[in-house]
Every structure is written in structure tokens, then in C-alpha cells.
């Protein structure tokens, strides 16, 4: 229950992390700069496969796609078949599968990643990778956790992108890699056992030539009534752009896609726990890349819903119109990143406090529109909102953020995200 909606520089374990603060107050108001091939690819994406792929991956036959299970193996076979039918090449020395052995090997791998590549003209070109883990939680206490939103929605999105690349064959300067890691769910999350951590340490292409990673998780959940009432029903949270202005600019370059409203947020806003101030907790498969690769990445998500990690996360609970729109937007971003000019950098431990505060104030509007939020929690959120407004006013007035004041913003973010994910959770008021 301690997790939020979205998915060591400290001087001690109780000190707030010392981020470097950036300030990018201006939103792009100019014309889109994405190339014609990126725009055409988004328009040409065939949405007809999205729902069938979700329903197949989240069907009883796949038994929740638990790592190491028969259901997980069936999911892998399904993915390989879809990638072959799209006309994409295998990623791993002629194979679509990459066994992982983080514990030194044994009679069976710990997990098995799946990957394919759409090649640029030059064999030694840089590369862009899109990442969506395919495993889920399996069967718990006799109930199948189908994992339709987590993460069959993102997997289906990447498969539709793969179909588009294979069909259109757009010219690109950089290879486009589709990666479906295993072993993202607990107890592997944030460990070297993650399939993505293995991939970042054993990449099939030179890691220093990785131009950008796009990590997707939870891309098809139906927006809550609170978010819809606050005008955030089309929100797609984009995190990680604070680490490099060029990555943020790639997002701003895109032509608008109906049904997608990109919302910027710094990664620290989703990585805190209330009582562990000197630590951060990665929410998805970017963990190993940040720890080992230190290359640019963006984390994309529509956020957690109330079905998250429950048996209720089934195909019937998804918003397929939202998933179609997100697929078009991600397709445009992927093809644009594969052809864009300029280099990208990456700096760890960065945050954009003013942009984060502005986004938080939008989320408070969603909470205030809800009649489901417990009274005790509602009062705590009102106090938090007043604090966020004071912080933003001070920062707008020229006072620089500090680790302590930014930590207060991060804690406010944690509580409002938790309230939107689980409105009846009165205990969040005690954080």
C-alpha cells in the first residue's frame, strides 16, 4: 500500500536525497518538429491487434505469466510468433530469446527475455529500445492475476508498433529494438535478478551507442472518475526528461495525438517512500539501466488503477481507446527518436521542482472532485496542497529549492498519488 499512483547522495539514511535542480518553465508553443515518417507511422498504426493481444496474454491459458512457469513460456512463444509475423529480425544472435542467469547459472535460467530489432541501414548505427515487461504475478491463493494492464497493455502496444515498422519499413538512422523483459515483478523488482538488469549488463548492441530507452508500464488502465473529472483522463505521465533537455525536447517535437495529454513529472516524484528519506525506489525496468548503463531514458505510464496487482486486472477493465491513442503517440516518438538530429546526454539525481509542483496541483483537483476520499485523508491532502502552493510561490519568487523543501514536495506527491490509486485508504493520512 506504500506505493504511489505511477508507478546515494544523502549525508545519512535519514537525510533527504540531494538532487540537482533544473528549471524548464516554458512549454513548447512552436509547430511540431517530428519528421514526416514519424507522423506517418503513428497514423498508419493498425489498432486492430491491441485488444486481441491483451486478451491472449491475459487469458486463463497463460495463468498470469509468472516467471519460470508454463504460462510464462506460453507467453514467450506467443511473443516470438507475433514478432516473426511482423517481419522483425531476432535480437540475440539469431534468436528471439535471451536466457538470464544472474545467480551463476543452473539447470534452468532464472528468466528469459524476448527481443526483436528493426535495423537501420548502417550496421554500426546507434539504437533506440522500447521496453515492456511481459511477466506478471501468476496464480495467488487460487486466483489468476491476469495482468491485463500490468503489463499486457504495454506489450500489446509494442507489438502493434512492431507490426507498423515491419509493414511500412520507414527509413531510420538508428536501429529500433523491442525488448520484452522477464522477472520484473516482486521479488525480482529492483534487483540484479530482473530480466532488464541482465539485458543492460549483457546488451546485444554496444550500450554506449544506446541513444534512448523508452520504458513502458501500465499503458491501458481506465482513468478513475476523479482523474476524468479533473480533465486528466487522457494523461500520459512522462518521467525522466529532467535528466537531459534533449530528451524532453523529443517529446515536445511530437505532433498532437487525440486522446493523449503528456504530463511531465520528475522521477523522484514516484520513487519515494514516506519513512525512508535517504533512498529511492525505481518503479520499473529502467532500474538496471540507471544503475549500470547511465544512458538516457524516459519512463511512460498512464498510472496505477485500483485493479493494480489484484485479480481484477482483467482485459474487460482496460480503456482500449486510450491504449490506441497511446500506441499512436509512442509510435511517433519511437520513429522520431530513431531519426532525430543531435545527441542526448544524461545526468543522474536531477529534478525540476517547479514543473513537479504544477503537475501536483492538477492532481489535487482530481482528489477534490472525489466523494470517495476518506475524511481523514481529505484533510491531510488539503494541508499538503497548501504546502505545495506555498513552495511553488516561493520558488516562483526566486527562492531556490533545497533538498529539504523538495523532499516535502515529494512526500506530498506520494500521498496524493496513493489517494488517487486507493481513495478509501484513510491510513495514508498517517504518513
pLDDT computed for residue 31 by the predictor: 80
More confident residue, 74 or 423: 74
408 assigned to some structural domain: yes
248 and 181, same structural domain?
yes
138 Rama sector, left if φ>0, alpha if ψ -120 to 50, beta otherwise: left
> pLDDT band at 7, cuts 50/70/90?
very low
pLDDT computed for residue 16 by the predictor: 84
Q: How far is CA 365 from the centre of its chain?
A: 23
Q: Which residues contact 59 (CB under 8 A, 6 or more apart)?
A: 146
pLDDT computed for residue 278 by the predictor: 85
362 and 342, same structural domain?
no
Give the ranges where 192-244 is alpha helix by DSSP (H): 195-201, 225-229
Number of H-type helices and E-type strands within the chain:
12, 13
CA distance 370 to 373: 6
Flag whether pLDDT at 351 surpasses 80.
yes
402 and 344, same structural domain?
no
> pLDDT band at 203, cuts 50/70/90?
very high
243 and 180, same structural domain?
yes
403 assigned to some structural domain: yes
107 assigned to some structural domain: yes
214 assigned to some structural domain: yes
Give the residue-averaged pLDDT of 95-99.
98
Q: Which of 2, 192, 3, 214 is nearest to 101 (CA)?
A: 192
pLDDT computed for residue 29 by the predictor: 59
Flag whether pLDDT at 9 surpasses 80.
no
> pLDDT band at 405, cuts 50/70/90?
very high
Flag whether pLDDT at 214 surpasses 90.
yes
More confident residue, 16 or 187: 187
* End position of a domain, from candidates 324, 350, 376: 350
Determine the 3-state secondary structure of 116 from DSSP.
strand
pLDDT computed for residue 14 by the predictor: 67
3 assigned to some structural domain: no
Give the residue-averaged pLDDT of 306-335.
97
* End position of a domain, from candidates 350, 371, 401: 350
pLDDT computed for residue 186 by the predictor: 95
159 and 252, same structural domain?
yes
Q: What is the 3-state secondary structure (H, E, C) of 118-152?
A: ECCCCCCCCEEEEECCCCECEEECCEEECCHHHHH
227 and 344, same structural domain?
yes
CA distance 137 to 184: 10
252 and 301, same structural domain?
yes
Q: Are 176 and 128 in contact (CB under 8 A)?
A: yes
Tally the domains of the chain: 2
393 and 249, same structural domain?
no
253 and 200, same structural domain?
yes
CA distance 421 to 423: 6
pLDDT computed for residue 11 by the predictor: 42
181 and 305, same structural domain?
yes
* DSSP H or E run through 117: strand 111-118
* End position of a domain, from candidates 287, 322, 350: 350
399 and 270, same structural domain?
no
Give the residue-averaged pLDDT of 358-374.
89
Most confidently predicted of 45-59, 99-113, 409-423: 45-59
Q: Are 181 and 83 in contact (CB under 8 A)?
A: no
Q: What percent of the chain shows pLDDT beyond 70?
A: 95
292 assigned to some structural domain: yes
6 assigned to some structural domain: no
Does pTM surpass 0.75?
A: yes
Lowest mean pLDDT among 3-17, 144-158, 360-374, 415-429: 3-17
335 and 362, same structural domain?
no
Q: What percent of the chain shows pLDDT beyond 90?
A: 83
pLDDT computed for residue 370 by the predictor: 82
Flag whether pLDDT at 229 surpasses 90.
no
Count of Cβ atoms closer than 10 Å to residue 392 Cβ: 18
pLDDT averaged over every residue in the chain: 93
pLDDT computed for residue 350 by the predictor: 96
Its domain, for residue 387, covers 357-430
pLDDT computed for residue 4 by the predictor: 52
Give the residue-averaged pLDDT of 379-395.
97
Lowest mean pLDDT among 42-46, 327-331, 366-370, 387-391: 366-370
10 assigned to some structural domain: no
Q: Which of 143, 72, 87, 73 is nearest to 119 (CA)?
A: 87
Give the residue-averaged pLDDT of 277-291.
93
pLDDT computed for residue 27 by the predictor: 57
- Model confidence over 17-28: pLDDT tens digits? 899 999 875 555
pLDDT computed for residue 369 by the predictor: 77
pLDDT computed for residue 192 by the predictor: 94
Q: Which CATH number goes with the domain that contains 324?
A: 3.40.630.10
pLDDT computed for residue 2 by the predictor: 39
Give the residue-averaged pLDDT of 329-335.
98
Give the residue-averaged pLDDT of 235-246.
95
Give the residue-averaged pLDDT of 213-233.
92
Give the residue-averaged pLDDT of 386-393.
98
Amino acid at each position: 500500500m506504500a506505493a504511489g499512483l505511477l508507478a546515494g547522495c544523502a549525508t545519512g539514511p535519514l537525510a533527504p536525497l540531494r538532487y540537482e535542480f533544473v528549471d524548464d518553465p516554458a512549454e513548447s508553443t512552436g509547430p511540431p518538429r517530428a519528421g514526416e515518417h514519424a507522423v506517418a507511422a503513428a497514423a498508419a498504426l493498425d489498432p486492430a491487434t491491441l485488444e486481441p493481444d491483451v486478451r491472449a496474454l491475459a487469458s486463463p491459458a497463460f495463468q498470469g505469466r509468472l516467471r519460470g512457469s508454463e504460462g510464462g513460456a506460453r507467453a514467450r512463444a506467443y511473443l516470438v510468433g507475433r514478432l516473426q509475423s511482423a517481419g522483425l529480425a531476432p535480437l540475440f544472435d539469431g534468436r528471439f530469446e535471451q536466457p538470464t542467469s544472474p545467480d551463476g547459472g543452473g539447470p534452468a535460467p532464472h528468466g528469459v527475455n524476448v527481443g526483436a530489432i528493426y535495423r537501420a541501414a548502417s550496421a554500426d548505427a546507434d539504437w533506440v529500445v522500447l521496453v515492456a515487461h511481459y511477466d506478471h504475478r501468476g496464480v495467488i491463493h487460487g486466483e489468476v492475476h491476469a495482468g491485463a494492464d500490468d503489463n499486457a497493455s504495454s506489450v500489446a502496444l509494442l507489438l502493434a508498433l512492431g507490426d507498423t515498422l515491419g509493414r511500412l519499413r520507414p527509413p531510420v538512422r538508428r536501429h529500433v529494438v523491442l525488448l520484452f523483459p522477464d522477472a520484473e515483478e516482486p521479488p525480482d523488482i529492483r534487483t540484479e535478478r530482473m530480466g532488464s538488469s541482465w539485458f543492460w549488463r549483457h546488451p546485444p548492441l554496444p550500450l554506449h551507442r544506446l541513444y534512448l530507452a523508452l520504458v513502458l508500464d501500465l499503458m491501458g488502465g481506465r482513468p478513475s472518475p476523479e482523474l476524468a473529472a479533473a480533465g486528466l483522463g487522457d494523461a500520459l505521465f512522462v518521467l525522466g526528461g529532467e535528466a537531459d533537455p534533449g530528451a524532453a525536447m523529443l517529446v515536445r517535437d511530437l505532433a498532437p495525438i487525440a486522446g493523449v495529454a503528456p504530463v511531465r513529472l520528475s522521477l523522484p516524484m514516484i520513487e519515494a517512500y514516506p519513512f525512508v528519506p535517504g533512498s529511492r525506489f525505481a518503479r520499473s525496468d529502467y532500474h538496471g539501466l540507471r544503475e549500470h548503463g547511465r544512458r538516457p531514458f524516459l519512463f511512460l505510464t498512464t498510472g496505477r488503477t485500483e485493479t493494480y496487482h489484484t485479480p481484477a486486472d482483467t482485459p474487460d477493465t482496460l480503456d482500449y481507446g486510450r491504449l490506441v491513442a497511446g500506441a499512436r503517440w509512442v509510435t511517433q516518438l519511437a520513429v522520431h527518436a530513431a531519426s532525430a538530429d543531435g545527441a542526448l546526454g544524461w545526468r543522474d539525481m536531477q529534478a525540476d521542482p517547479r514543473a513537479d509542483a504544477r503537475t501536483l496541483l492538477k492532481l489535487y483537483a482530481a482528489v477534490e472532485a472525489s466523494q470517495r476520499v476518506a475524511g481523514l485523508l481529505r484533510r491531510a491532502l488539503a494541508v499538503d496542497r497548501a504546502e505545495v502552493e506555498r513552495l511553488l510561490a516561493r520558488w516562483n519568487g526566486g527562492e531556490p529549492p533545497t533538498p529539504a523543501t523538495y523532499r516535502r514536495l515529494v512526500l506530498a506527491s506520494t500521498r496524493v498519488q496513493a489517494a488517487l490509486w486507493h481513495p478509501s485508504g484513510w491510513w495514508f493520512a498517517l504518513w
